Structure 1
Amino acid sequence: MMNKTKLRSEFTPGTTRWAVRRAQWLAMGLSESDFHKPKIAVVNSSSKLSVCYQHLDAVSVVVQDAIRAAGAVPFEIRTVAPSDFVTSAGKQGRYLMPTRDLLVNDIEVQVEGAELDGMVLLASCDKTTPAQLMAAGRLDVPSIVVTCGFQLGSECGGAHVDIEEVYKSVGAYKAKKITLATLTDMTCHAIKGPGVCAGLATANSMHCMAEALGMALTGNAPIRAGSDELMAYAARAGAAIVGLVERDIRPRQIMTAAAFRNAVRTAVAIGASVNVMRHLLAAAIEAECDIDVIAAFEEAAQHVGQITRVRPNGPDRIEDFAAAGGCAGAMKQLAPVLDTSVLTVTGDTLAENLARQPAPDEAVIAPLAEPFRAEPGLIIVRGNLAPDGAVVKLSAVPAHVRRFVGPAAVFEDENDAIAAIEQSRIARGSVVVLRMLGPKGGPGTVFAASFMAALVGAGLGDAVAVVTDGELSGLNSGITIGQVMPEAAEGGPLAAVQDGDTVVIDLNRFTIDLELSAQVLKDRIAALPPLPPTTEKGWLAMYRQLVQPLSRGAVLGERGARRSPETE
Structure 2
Amino acid sequence: MNLRSNLPEGSPRWATRRAQWHALGLTADDLTKPKIAIVNSSSGLAPCFSHLDPIAAAVKESVAAAGGVGFEIRTVAPTDFIMAAGGSGGYVLSSRDLLTNDIEAVVEGAQLDGMVCLASCDKTTPGQLMAAARLDVPTLIITCGYQSCGRLDTGERVDIEDVFLQAGHLKFGGITFDGLCDMSTRAITGPGVCTGMGTANSMHVVAEALGMTLPGTAPVRANSQAMWRAVRASGPAIVEAVLADRRPRTILTPDAFANAVMAVLAISGSINTVKHLQAVAREAGTGVDVYALFERYADTIRPLSAVRPNGEDTIEQFEDAGGALAVLKQLGDSLIGEAATVTGEPMAERVASAVVGDEQIIRPLADPRGGHPTVVVIRGSLAPGSAIVKLSVSEERAPTFDGVARVFNDAPSALAAIEGGVVRPGEVLVLRGLGPVGTPGMGMASQTVFALNGAGLTEHVAVVTDGQLSGLVNKGIVVGEVIPEGALAGPLGVVEDGDRISIDLTTRRADLLVDEAELTRRHERRARHEVPGGRSGWLPVYARSVEPLARGATLRGNDLPVTPV
* TM-score for the superposition, normalised by structure 1: 0.96
CA contact (8 A) 2:438 2:531 kept: no
The aligned counterpart of 2:494 is 496
Residue 92 (structure 1) aligned to one of 88, 92, 100 = 88
Q: Secondary structure at the match of 1:75?
A: strand
The equivalent residue for 2:291 is 294
SS at match of 1:89: coil
What is the match of residue 549 of structure 2? Answer: 550
- Is 2:369–2:393's contact at 8 Å kept on the other side of the alignment? no
Correspondence for 2:322 among 304, 322, 325? 325
- CA 1:235 to 1:559, structure 2 compared with 1: closer, same or farther past 3 Å? farther
Asked if 2 retains the 8 angstrom alpha-carbon contact of 1:144 and 1:215, the reply is yes
Q: Distance in 2 between matches of 1:151 and 1:460?
A: 32
Q: Determine helix, strand or coil for the equivalent of 1:120.
A: strand
Please tell me whether the aligned partners of residues 254 and 342 of structure 1 are also in contact (alpha carbons under 8 angstroms).
yes
Report the alpha carbon displacement of residue 350 of structure 1 after superposing the two structures with TM: 0.5
Q: Residues 370-381 of structure 1 correspond to what in structure 2 (within 5 A)?
A: 370-381=367-378
Contact kept? 1:396, 1:476, Cα under 8 Å: no
Deviation at 1:348, TM superposition (A): 0.6
Are 2:240 and 1:240 equivalent residues in the alignment? no
Is 1:505 the counterpart of 2:503? The answer is: yes
Does residue 401 (structure 1) correspond to residue 398 (structure 2)? The answer is: yes
> Offset of 1:96 from its aligned partner?
0.7
Greater CA drift, 500-509 or 43-52: 500-509
SS of 2:46 mapped into structure 1: coil
Aligned partner of 2:67 in structure 1 is 71
| 1:33 aligned to which of 24, 29, 34 | 29
1:365-422 CA distances to partner (integer Å, 9 max, x unpaired)?
1110111112112111000000011111123694122111111111111011111121
Q: Tell me the SS of whatever aligns to 1:513.
A: strand
| Alpha-carbon displacement from aligned partner over 1:82-129 (angstroms, at most 9, x marks no partner) | 111111111221111110101100000000000000000001111100
CA shift in 2, pair 1:325/1:559, >3 Å: farther
Amino acid at match of 2:124: T
Q: Aligned residue for 2:439?
A: 442
For residues 436-474 of structure 1, give each alpha carbon's deviation from its aligned partner in whole angstroms, at most 9, with x where no partner exists. 110111111112222222222333333321111111111
Partner of 2:19: 23
Contact 1:452/1:476 (8 A) holds in 2: no
Contact 1:149-1:226 within 8 A present in 2 as well: yes
The one-letter code of the counterpart of 2:111 is E
- Per mean C-alpha deviation after superposition, the further-off stretch among 186-195 and 518-527 is 518-527
RMSD: 1.5
Q: Residue in 2 aligned with 1:53?
A: 49
- Whether contact under 8 Å (2:205, 2:219) holds in the other structure is yes
Q: Could you tell me which amino acid in structure 2 is paired with residue 495 of structure 1?
A: G
Unaligned runs of 5+ in 1: 562-568
The change in CA–CA distance for 1:559 and 1:550 in structure 2 (over 3 A counts) is farther
Structure 2 CA distance for aligned equivalents of residues 89 and 501 of structure 1: 32
| Aligned AA (1:516) | V
Q: 514-523 or 462-471: which moved more?
A: 514-523
Q: Cα–Cα, structure 1 residues 559 and 196, in superposed 2: closer, same or farther, change >3 Å?
A: farther
Query: Does the C-alpha gap of structure 1 residues 560 and 511 become closer, same or farther in structure 2, counting only changes over 3 Å?
Result: farther
Residues 169-568 of structure 1: pairs in structure 2 closer than 5 A: 169-395=166-392, 398-478=395-475, 479-536=477-534, 537-558=536-557
Once the 2 structures are TM-superposed, how far is the Cα of residue 535 of structure 1 from its aligned partner?
4.4
* Matched position secondary structure for 2:468: coil
User: Which one of 92, 98, 109 corresponds to residue 105 of structure 2?
Assistant: 109
Q: Which amino acid aligns with 1:545?
A: R
Please tell me whether the aligned partners of residues 312 and 477 of structure 1 are also in contact (alpha carbons under 8 angstroms): no
Question: CA offsets, 1:229-282, max 9 Å, x none?
Answer: 111111112220000001000000000011001111111221111111100000
Instruction: Give the Cα–Cα distance (whole angstroms) in 1 for the partners of residues 369 and 198 of structure 2.
Output: 19
1:95 partner SS: helix
Question: After the TM superposition, which segments of 4 or more aligned residues of structure 1 sit over 6 Å from their partners?
Answer: none
Q: 1:157 to 1:400 in 2, by over 3 A?
A: same
Task: Please give the alpha-carbon distance, in whole angstroms, between the structure 1 residues aligned to 2:72 and 2:36.
Answer: 8
- Residue 269 of structure 2 contacts residue 472 of structure 2 at CA under 8 Å; is this kept in 1? no
Contact 2:437 2:531 in 1 (8 A): no
The verdict on how the C-alpha distance between 1:533 and 1:487 changes in structure 2, with shifts beyond 3 A counting, is closer
What residue identity is the alignment partner of 1:379?
Answer: V
| Residue type at the aligned position of 1:501 | D
Q: 2: CA distance between counterparts of 1:311 and 1:401?
A: 22
Which moved further from structure 2: 29-38 or 460-469?
460-469
Matched length:
557
Amino acid corresponding to residue 429 of structure 1 in structure 2:
G
Q: CA deviation at 1:559?
A: 9.4
**Residue identity matched to 2:149:** G
Measure, in 1, the Cα distance between the counterparts of 2:511 and 2:390. Answer: 18
- CA distance in 1 between counterparts of 2:498 and 2:41 reads 46
Given residue 71 of structure 1, which amino acid in structure 2 is its aligned partner? G
The aligned residue for residue 167 of structure 1 is 164
| Counterpart residue type for residue 140 of structure 1 | D
Mark the CA change 1:121 to 1:535 in structure 2 (over 3 Å): closer, same or farther: closer
Q: 2 CA distance for matches of 1:223 and 1:426?
A: 42
Contact 1:466 1:481 in 2 (8 A): yes
Cα distance, 1:335 vs. partner? 2.8
Paired residue for 1:566? none
How many angstroms apart in 2 are the aligned matches of 1:525 and 1:399? 38
1:356 deviation in Å? 1.4
Q: 2:563 aligns to what?
A: none
Residue 434 of structure 1: how far off its partner (Å): 0.8
Mapped to 2, the partners of 1:399 and 1:532 lie a distance apart of: 43
CA contact (8 A) 1:433 1:468 kept: yes
Q: Percent identity?
A: 49
Mapped partners of 2:465, 2:171: distance in 1 = 22
Alpha-carbon distance in 2 for matches of 1:449, 1:92: 13
Write the distance in 1 (CA, Å) between the matches of 2:266 and 2:15: 54
Alignment check: 8 A CA contact 2:370 2:394 kept:
no
Q: Return closer, same or farther for 1:134/1:521 CA change in 2, 3 Å cut-off.
A: same
Conserved in 2, the CA contact under 8 Å of 1:456 and 1:477?
A: no
How far residue 533 of structure 1 moved from its aligned partner, in angstroms, is: 4.1
CA distance in 2, matches of 1:394, 1:534: 32
- C-alpha separation between the residues in 1 aligned to 2:491 and 2:73? 43
Residue 392 of structure 2 aligns to a residue whose secondary structure is helix
Q: Is the 8 A contact 1:306 1:395 kept in 2?
A: no
Moved more, 249-258 or 151-160: 151-160
